[in-house]
Structure 1
C-alpha cells in the first residue's frame, strides 16, 4: 500500500532531498580537493552514504516505503573507525581543516533539520526512515569530529 504523505511531509522531504543533494556535491568535491588520502576516502564514503539518503527520500516522495538496512549505520561506523585508525603521515593540511570544518557545520545543520522533519511527520514509516538517516548523519559528524581531533584541527576544551 503506497504511503499517503501529508503536504507538510512532502514539503519537509523536498527540503531534505535538497540538503542531501548539497551534501553529495560537497563531499564529492571535497574528496577531490582533500590533500590527505585518508580524508579523501572518508569524504568519498560519506558521499556514497548521502546518495543512499537521497534515494531513500525519493522513494518516500514516490509513496514507497523504503527498505532500510538494519546494520548500515553500524557498518558505516566500523568503516569510519578503520579509516581513522590507518597510519597518519603526521602532517596537518590547513586546507583540509577548512573542508572538515565546513562539513562538520553542514552535518550539524542537516541533523537539526531532520529533527524537525521527524517531529512533523504523521506517518510512522516516514519517521523511521528519517530517524535512520539522521543517525547516519550524526555518525558522519562524529567521524569528521574524530578525524579533526586526531589531526590537531579541533581541540574541544
Structure 2
C-alpha cells in the first residue's frame, strides 16, 4: 500500500482535475469537430486521458501503478499509425470530395467549419502543454520510483498528443 504525504495527495488531486478536464474536453470536441480525422484523434486522445485519470485515481487510492514496456510499445505503434493517417487524410478527403462534385458547393461552409476545428485543436494544444508541464513539475515531488515512472509515461503521452495536434494544425492552417 502506497503511503502518500499531504503534499503528494494535493498534487495528485490537481492532476486528477486536469485529467478529468482533458477527458471532458476531448469527448466534447470530438462531437463538435467536423473533420473526421480530427474527430478520430480527439476520440483516441479521450481514451488515453481516461487511462491517465485511472492511473492517477489508482495512485490516490494507495495502489502502485504497474507500468510495463507493453504500454510503451502500444504508444509507439499508435503514434506511427496516427502520423500516417494524418499525412494521407487531407489530400484523400479533397480527392474524394472533388470526385463527387462536392468541393465547390461545400467550400463556403467548410471554411467556417475548418476554422472552428482549428480553434478546437489550438485549445487542446494549449491544454496539453499545460498538463505536460504540470507532470514535469509533479514528478520531482514524489519519492516512489513507480509513481515517478507512471508520471513519466503519462507525460510522454501528453507530449505525443501535443505533437499530433501541432502536426494537424501545420497541415491544415497557417498557425
Pair in the same fold by TM > 0.5: yes
Between the aligned partners of 1:54 and 1:76, the Cα distance in structure 2 is 19
SS of 1:4 mapped into structure 2? coil
Aligned equivalent of 1:66: 65
Question: Aligned pairs, how many?
Answer: 153
Q: In proportion to residue count, which structure has more helix?
A: 2
**Alignment deviations for residues 16-74 of structure 1 (CA, whole Å, 9 cap, x no partner):** 01000000000000000001000000000000000000001111111111122232321
Aligned equivalent of 1:49: 48
TM-score (norm 2): 0.82
Map 1:3-152; keep pairs closer than 5 Å. Answer: 3-68=2-67, 69-88=71-90, 89-90=93-94, 93-152=114-173
TM-score (norm 1): 0.91
Between the aligned partners of 2:72 and 2:53, the Cα distance in structure 1 is 17
Superposition RMSD in Å: 1.5
Between the aligned partners of 1:79 and 1:66, the Cα distance in structure 2 is 27
Unaligned runs of 5+ in 2: 95-109
| Aligned CA distance change for structure 1 residues 22 and 87 (closer, same or farther; 3 Å) | same
Between the aligned partners of 2:56 and 2:116, the Cα distance in structure 1 is 32
